[in-house]
Amino acid sequence: MYQAFKNSIQDLYRDLVELTPVIFVSVLVLLVGLLVISSIKKLIFRKVISRAKDTVGARFVADIIIFIFYIILIFFVFRTLGLSAFTQTIIGAAGLTTFIIGFALKDIGENFLAGIVMIFDRPFEMGDLVEIEGRVGRVIRISIRETTIKTVDGKDVYIPNSDIVKKHFINYTIDDQLRESFDISINNTNNIREVMGMIMKELSSVPNLLPNKTPSVSIKNFDQGTVQLSVSFWYGLLGSQARNARLKNEVMLRVIEALKSNKVEFPNHIQDVNIQKDA
């Protein structure tokens, strides 16, 4: 038994010695291939993508080309290791290929196909401000697998392309026109028409609002001696990173100050409580 174990160890050692040059050459081929692919990738990005009119489409095509180079390198390394029959089996075995694509590469294939749909459908462009599943940010990269957005607090969020295609999202900058609104309550003892006119006059004097989009003031509700007005206005992002909360704050301050200066009465929501003492 000892002699059989010794012979197996010796056979394993001889096999390792024989395979060492092959393994060394294969690792060398892999490293050289990775270096060449990296150089090709840099060349494509510097010479093609930077000069292309459609940078998103050019980047997507470049990613596909680089992916093909990686596949070729893997099969070349297999051939160097003497596994050419194995690679031919993988290529020819449709059942095994289907199994790999269906299970191991399901997410990759799904994101790849979603990326193709996005390239042709173009729901957003580079630099657009979008909201996807509650995450708001600028699109900074679109690849064959994922889309990267930079949020308002500087974080890079990587979202799989399949999630973007299957779920709803909001593009705030597709036409660079955003509408904001807020509500304000006044007493119904005021002249409602005059108050609405005051608000419209004040909105017309606010800078940075879109001149081709007229603001509006409408009655939203009235209850318990109060009238609730809904005020809306339009503005453009002008390349800003987020929705303009400062502008909305300025509009609200202007409206409330104008109404106060015109003695408009507001509800104070104070309740009188009378306590009666039994005789």
Q: Is the pLDDT of residue 7 over 70?
A: no
267 found inside a domain: no
Output DSSP code: residue 89.
H
Average pLDDT of the chain to the nearest whole number = 75
Instruction: Kindly report, residue by residue over 253-267, the tens digit of the pLDDT.
Output: 999 999 999 999 888
At 121 the three-state DSSP class reads helix
Q: Are 176 and 240 in contact (CB under 8 A)?
A: no
Q: Are 135 and 149 in contact (CB under 8 A)?
A: yes
**Out of 45-49, 98-102, 125-129, 223-227, which region has the weakest mean confidence (pLDDT)?**
98-102
Q: At what angle do helices 2-47 and 55-80 cross, to 10 degrees?
A: 150
Highest-scoring range by mean pLDDT, 12-16, 24-28, 119-123: 24-28
Question: What's the number of CA atoms in the CB half-sphere (13 Å) around residue 227?
Answer: 17
Mean pLDDT of 41-49: 70
151 found inside a domain: yes
Residue 46 lies in domain: 9-92
% of residues, the chain, pLDDT over 90:
12
48 found inside a domain: yes
**Where is the domain boundary, 153, 171, 189?**
171
Tell me: do 21 and 81 sit in the same domain: yes
Tell me: do 138 and 78 sit in the same domain: no
Distance CA 7, CA 53 (A): 67
% of residues, the chain, pLDDT over 70:
68
Q: Are 187 and 266 in contact (CB under 8 A)?
A: yes
pLDDT in the model for residue 267: 86
Tell me: do 202 and 166 sit in the same domain: no
Helix (H) or strand (E) holding 63: helix 55-80
CATH number for 138: 2.30.30.60
Instruction: Kindly report, residue by residue over 46-61, the tens digit of the pLDDT.
Output: 766 656 555 666 666 7
In sequence order, the β-bridge partners of residue 171 are: 130
Q: Is the pLDDT of residue 15 over 70?
A: no
Nearest to 74 by CA among 114, 36, 33: 33
Distance CA 181, CA 230 (A): 7
| Token code pair at residue 142 | 């679109």
Tell me: do 190 and 139 sit in the same domain: no
Highest-scoring range by mean pLDDT, 74-78, 92-96, 192-196, 245-249: 192-196
pLDDT in the model for residue 241: 47
Write phi, then psi, for 190 (nearest 5 degrees). Answer: -75, 160
Instruction: Kindly report, residue by residue over 194-244, the tens digit of the pLDDT.
Output: 999 999 999 888 887 888 888 899 998 888 889 999 999 888 766 554 556
109 found inside a domain: no
Number of domains in the chain: 3
**Out of 39-48, 127-136, 169-178, 240-249, which region has the weakest mean confidence (pLDDT)?**
240-249
43 found inside a domain: yes
Tell me: do 141 and 187 sit in the same domain: no
